[in-house]
Amino acid sequence: MTQQPSPDTSAIERFEHELTELIATAFGSGTIVEGEWQLTSPVSAAPAWTVTIEKIETDDESAYKPEFLEE
């Protein structure tokens, strides 16, 4: 049996951190971040990706819904 290489946890953590920062910054700027995107790479050997972002309401979230101001 061939053993699969274990993922680089620091790379995964860095990816998650950068993705969180990207979404939080976009949301903070008033961008609608919920949606689905089809992403392709300019490198033919790289896979295409479907990215879905969905807002999840939790019970402990405030009912306050701020309006974003234009800069």
Note the pLDDT tens digit of each residue in 21-46: 999 999 999 999 999 999 999 999 99
Residue from 35, 38, 40 nearest 52 by CA: 35
Query: Rounded mean pLDDT of the chain?
Result: 85
Distance between CA atoms of 71 and 19, rounded to whole angstroms?
24
CA terminus-to-terminus distance, the chain: 58
Judge contact between 22 and 16, C-beta under 8 A: no
Q: Are 53 and 23 contacting, i.e. CB atoms less than 8 angstroms apart? A: yes
Please tell me the pTM assigned to this model: 0.64
In this prediction, residue 58 has a pLDDT band, given cuts at 50, 70 and 90, of confident
